[in-house]
């Protein structure tokens, strides 16, 4: 009986936590802005485009879950379309800051657990995502 | 409550297989067994973890094996919740279920800072035979008495931690301060600590899908122990350990961890051997909620 109560309590806990974890409809968060100093940081791997291959691997492992394999964003997840010009026009430093800090209000986790260079590799790969209207 | 080894093992594996029917993602877990960092579980993801703590005995003690199942769920980007089920098997004694824990961590600050505080609150319904030693508070566990004497002694505990964690040039440095109140006995408030430092072996990812690349390994060390209680504060009568740690992202969804802990005094087992395997399930929350949606 005790085991049954524990199982039911655990299940109810996970279900309740999921409801609280729901992400509202995606829209640009006007308050999610990198400080000017962070936005101005250059990508230390900019002269090493070959590092984008590692960035692709990291993107698949960490970002595809919400942004999709082409970066167009999964609607159900309300995730940003990384191909959009309004997104691509942001600086490398801004991408790095956003990957590092996340945005808890929109369900974007912080990826500060990844080493700095790996976060810059992801930025490098995001730059290769090109908008293709035929695939949309 | 005495259970056979076979029953415990069957229950643990059934849970893992039932849940792992969902898709999985890459896992890059902290290598620590005791110290917590400020890195939270990603929202909607579930980590299923099977770990164990084994104690090498001193003379007069018996060796033991204490496995535990941990379900860690990212409720939001700032809140992670976990459920533990734990047991213990002592050589030439018995195998017993030692209780459960429900733990919650809340990351206080939304952005990354030099020091990132996390508040931790856990309810534990255990018995005194518990030996997983996820933390050491007070003077540490009783590893000398037989299970028959320890299992009837129940402990309803509330445990709080202040977790301070920093990432500096790919190093993670974390400090945990622990306070535990056992409502079943009048032993005051017990204290403990854990300090951990870790770093990946490589900071640049290769373009290949390799298993033994240096980037898949994280190394570090932990220092943890008890600090007595409000009835007698101090570390001299409490177990203290120094433990190197190693984690290996063995697959896209699994991480193996290993840590030998060496006692710095004679209060507990001279060596603790810890193993852990974590399996990360992506989108567990949304897949679970789909089960309860209306049929079209």
Encode pLDDT of A1-33 as tens digits: 555 555 555 555 444 444 433 333 446 778 889
Taking CB atoms within 8 Å and a gap of at least 24, the contacts of B206-212 are B206/A53, B206/A54, B206/A57, B207/A50, B207/A53, B207/A54, B207/A56, B207/A57, B208/A57, B209/A57, B211/B250, B211/B251
Q: Among B37, B200, B207, whose Cβ lies nearest the Cβ of A57?
A: B207
> Given a cut of 50, is residue B11 above it in pLDDT?
no
Q: Work out the number of other CB atoms within 10 angstroms of the CB of residue A73.
A: 19
Instruction: Give me the mean pLDDT over the B174-185 stretch.
Output: 93
Are B75 and A56 in contact (CB < 8 Å)? no
**Residues in A 61-80 with any Cβ partner in B closer than 8 A:** 61-62, 65, 76
pLDDT-based confidence at residue B293 (cuts at 50, 70, 90): confident
Q: Among A21, A104, A115, whose Cβ lies nearest the Cβ of B285?
A: A21
Return the HEC string of A18-67. Answer: HHHCCCCCCCCCCCCCCCHHHHCCCCCCCCCHHHHHHHHHHHHHHCHHHH
> Given a cut of 60, is residue B25 above it in pLDDT?
no
Instruction: Give me the mean pLDDT over the B24-30 stretch.
Output: 59
pLDDT-based confidence at residue A44 (cuts at 50, 70, 90): very high
> Given a cut of 90, is residue A35 above it in pLDDT?
yes
Asked if the ipTM is above 0.85, the reply is no
Over chain B, what is the mean pLDDT?
88
Q: What is the pLDDT of residues B213-249, one digit of tens each?
A: 999 999 999 999 999 998 888 877 889 999 999 999 9
Looking at residue A20, its pLDDT comes to 39
Are A56 and B252 in contact (CB < 8 Å)? no
Q: Which residues in chain B have their CB less than 8 angstroms from residue A20's CB?
A: 75-76, 79
Q: Which residues in chain B have their CB less than 8 angstroms from residue A23's CB?
A: 43
Looking at residue A76, its pLDDT comes to 79
Q: Which residues in chain B have their CB less than 8 angstroms from residue A65's CB?
A: 25, 42, 282-283
> Given a cut of 70, is residue B19 above it in pLDDT?
no
pLDDT-based confidence at residue B49 (cuts at 50, 70, 90): very high
Please state, in angstroms and rounded to a whole number, the distance separating the CA atoms of residues B272 and B215.
27
Q: C-alpha B150: how far from its chain's center?
A: 22
Are B286 and A53 in contact (CB < 8 Å)? no
Looking at residue A5, its pLDDT comes to 58
Task: Kindly state whether A57 is in contact with chain B, defined as any CB-CB distance less than 8 angstroms.
Answer: yes
Looking at residue B24, its pLDDT comes to 41
Please state, in angstroms and rounded to a whole number, the distance separating the CA atoms of residues A97 and B112.
9
Are B102 and A58 in contact (CB < 8 Å)? no
**First-residue to last-residue Cα distance in chain B:** 46
Q: What is the pLDDT of residues A68-119, one digit of tens each?
A: 988 888 887 788 889 888 889 999 999 999 999 999 888 889 999 999 999 9
Q: Work out the number of other CB atoms within 10 angstroms of the CB of residue B23.
A: 12
Nearest CA in chain B to A119: B204
Please state, in angstroms and rounded to a whole number, the distance separating the CA atoms of residues B256 and B50.
10
> Given a cut of 50, is residue A60 above it in pLDDT?
yes
Q: Among B37, B209, B289, whose Cβ lies nearest the Cβ of A18?
A: B289
Q: C-alpha A45: how far from its chain's center?
A: 20
pLDDT-based confidence at residue B253 (cuts at 50, 70, 90): confident
Looking at residue B1, its pLDDT comes to 44
Please state, in angstroms and rounded to a whole number, the distance separating the CA atoms of residues B104 and B189.
20
């Amino acid at each position: 009986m005790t085991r049954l109560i524990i199982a039911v309590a655990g299940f109810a806990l996970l279900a309740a936590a999921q409801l609280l974890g729901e992400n509202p409809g995606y829209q640009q968060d006007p308050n999610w802005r990198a400080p000017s100093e962070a936005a101005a940081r250059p990508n230390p791997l900019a002269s090493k485009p070959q590092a984008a291959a590692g960035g692709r691997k990291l993107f698949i492992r960490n970002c595809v879950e919400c942004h999709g394999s082409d970066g167009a964003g999964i609607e159900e997840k309300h995730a940003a379309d990384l191909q959009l010009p309004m997104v691509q026009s942001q600086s490398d430093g801004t991408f790095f800051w956003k990957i590092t800090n996340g945005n808890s209000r929109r369900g974007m986790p912080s990826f500060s657990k990844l080493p700095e260079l790996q976060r810059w590799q992801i930025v490098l790969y995001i730059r290769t995502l090109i908008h293709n209207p035929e695939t949309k | 409550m005495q259970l056979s080894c076979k029953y415990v093992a069957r229950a643990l594996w059934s849970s893992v297989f039932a849940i792992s029917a969902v898709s999985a993602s890459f896992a890059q877990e902290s290598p620590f067994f005791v110290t917590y960092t400020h890195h939270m579980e990603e929202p909607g993801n579930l980590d299923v973890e099977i770990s164990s703590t084994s104690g090498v005995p001193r003379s007069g003690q018996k060796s033991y094996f204490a496995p535990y199942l941990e379900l860690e769920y990212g409720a939001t980007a700032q809140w992670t919740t976990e459920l533990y089920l734990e047991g213990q098997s002592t050589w030439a004694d018995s195998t017993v279920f030692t209780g459960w824990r429900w733990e919650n961590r809340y990351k206080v600050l939304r952005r990354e800072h030099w020091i990132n505080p996390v508040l931790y609150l856990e309810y534990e319904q255990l018995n005194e035979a518990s030996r997983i030693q996820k933390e050491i508070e007070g003077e540490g566990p009783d590893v000398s008495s037989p299970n028959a004497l320890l299992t009837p002694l129940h402990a309803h505990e509330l445990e709080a931690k202040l977790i301070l964690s920093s990432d500096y040039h790919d190093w993670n440095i974390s400090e945990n301060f622990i306070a535990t109140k056992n409502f079943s006995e009048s032993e005051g408030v017990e204290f403990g600590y854990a300090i951990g430092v870790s770093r990946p072996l490589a900071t640049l990812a290769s373009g290949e899908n390799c298993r033994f690349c240096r980037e898949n390994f994280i190394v570090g060390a932990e220092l943890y122990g008890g600090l007595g209680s409000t009835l007698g504060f101090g570390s001299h009568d409490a177990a203290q350990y120094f433990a190197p740690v190693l984690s290996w992202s063995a697959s896209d969804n699994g991480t193996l961890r290993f840590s030998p802990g060496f006692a710095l005094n004679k209060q507990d087992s001279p060596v603790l051997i810890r193993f852990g395997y974590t399996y990360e399930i992506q989108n567990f929350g949304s897949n679970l909620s789909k089960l309860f949606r209306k049929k079209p």
